[in-house]
Amino acid sequence: MSERRVPIAPQQVDAPLTRAAVFLVVTVADDAIGTIRAALAGIDDVVKSVGFRDLGARLSCTVGIGSRVWTALTGHPLPAELRPFREVSGPAHTAVSTPGDLLFHIRSERQDLCFELERLLLESLGTGIRTEDEVAGFRYFDARDLLGFVDGSANPIGPDLPAATLVGEEDEAFAGGSYVVVQKYLHDLSAWQRLSTEQQEAIIGHRKADNLELDDAPDGVQKAHKTLATISDKSGEHDILRDNMPFGSPAAGEFGTYFIGYTRHLWVIERMLERMFLGDPPGLHDRLLDFSIAKTGTTFFAPSATFLAGLG
């Protein structure tokens, strides 16, 4: 008889945009691997125990695992493209690489459910972790960032979504998983607001009011952010899924965007960052970076939910 194969269920990398989110990045002590493994295997039960209070709030948690602890934690070799975040040092700005072994991307329509899930999650992880970064994001008006532009409108939809985000037969052992890159950007809103709307639109590549794309600049001329962040080759255009969230505190004078990108191929986001920080052509970097500074940068692999549950 042929062996029955267990169906692969991806994590909810494609969960719909919510009103609230938490991005939690932690590092793991080497002697805590067993505790962490058990916590990750049971995370679905924790999500259910919190989310049942309001099923309409669409609570979810996507888990990413970094290259440093992958093999010790999972007992498997690294996925084909999993590696530490590659720092990109340009003539004007740097995409920095920062520590992180685990990512928890918590999403819900209710901030209190995000809070409760994070609390219980940290309780289950125990004392063998250290928080490297924690950001609470919120939806801002009609899915805009704090710079005033709609964010994420180029995301793939329908059948293009899994094709862009989920590993397939090219790395069959990790099919249904997704590479994840996160960066925390802080904005200089005062400098940005001194620009005219037309200047802002030229930098972003979209009209501010209705989000329509502007024409691409000719070769050899300063390109807009939307052009530099679009990756194409002979096989066509390579999409990623962005689920960015604004965050900040007016009292503290902190304003930012938390970038999170899910992709089937890690090289797509790496190439995007090279174009932004080094420029295309080289020397003409993404002018958005003059107003938005990258403070973190970490890479993870979000295995399928089937793989994650199997850790137990």
Q: State mean pLDDT over 251-257.
A: 96
The pairing of strands 231-233 and 241-242 is: unpaired
**Chain mean pLDDT for the chain:** 95
Least confident residue range of 158-162, 265-269, 296-300: 158-162
- pLDDT tops 70 at residue 251: yes
pLDDT per residue as tens digits for the range 176-186 = 999 999 999 99
Report CA-CA distances (Å) from 158 to 63, 162, 165, 230, 231: 23, 8, 12, 19, 20
Evaluate whether 41 touches 138 at the Cβ level (below 8 Å): no
CA atoms within 13 A on the CB side of 276: 24
Helix 33-41 with 111-125: angle, nearest 10 deg? 140
Length, in residues, of the chain: 312
Alpha helix (H) ranges present in 25-152?
Answer: 33-41, 43-51, 67-74, 111-125
Q: Classify burial at 301, counting beta carbons within 10 Å of its beta carbon; exposed 0-12, middle 13-18, buried 19 or more.
A: buried
Alpha helix (H) ranges present in the chain?
Answer: 33-41, 43-51, 67-74, 111-125, 160-165, 189-193, 197-204, 225-228, 266-278, 305-309
- pLDDT tops 60 at residue 4: no
- pLDDT tops 60 at residue 128: yes
pLDDT per residue as tens digits for the range 156-204 = 999 999 999 999 999 999 999 999 999 999 999 999 999 999 999 999 9
- Which pLDDT value is given to residue 102? 98
Of 82 and 17, the one with more pLDDT: 82
- pLDDT tops 60 at residue 266: yes
User: 3-state DSSP call for residue 306?
Assistant: helix
Q: Which residues are catalytic?
A: 151
For the chain, percent of residues with pLDDT exceeding 70: 98
What whole-number distance in Å separates Cα of residue 232 and Cα of residue 271? 10
Of 290 and 221, the one with more pLDDT: 290
Per-residue pLDDT band for 5 (boundaries 50, 70, 90) equals low
Q: Dihedral, CA atoms, 208, 209, 211, 212, nearest 10 degrees?
A: -100
Q: State mean pLDDT over 55-62.
A: 97
Evaluate whether 253 touches 149 at the Cβ level (below 8 Å): no
Report CA-CA distances (Å) from 192 to 45, 148, 203, 204, 283: 44, 10, 11, 12, 21
- Which pLDDT value is given to residue 1? 40
- Which pLDDT value is given to residue 2? 43
Least confident residue range of 85-89, 118-122, 150-154, 196-200: 150-154
Per-residue pLDDT band for 54 (boundaries 50, 70, 90) equals very high
What whole-number distance in Å separates Cα of residue 219 and Cα of residue 227? 11
Q: Classify burial at 12, counting beta carbons within 10 Å of its beta carbon; exposed 0-12, middle 13-18, buried 19 or more.
A: middle
- Return the residue matching tokens 């059948």: 159
Q: How crowded is residue 70: how many other Cβ atoms within 10 Å of its Cβ?
A: 19
- Which pLDDT value is given to residue 3? 44
Residue 10, preceding peptide bond in cis (omega within 30° of 0) = no
What whole-number distance in Å separates Cα of residue 145 and Cα of residue 166? 26
Evaluate whether 23 touches 134 at the Cβ level (below 8 Å): yes
What whole-number distance in Å separates Cα of residue 61 and Cα of residue 147? 27
For the chain, percent of residues with pLDDT exceeding 90: 91
- Which pLDDT value is given to residue 6? 56
First-to-final CA distance of the chain = 28
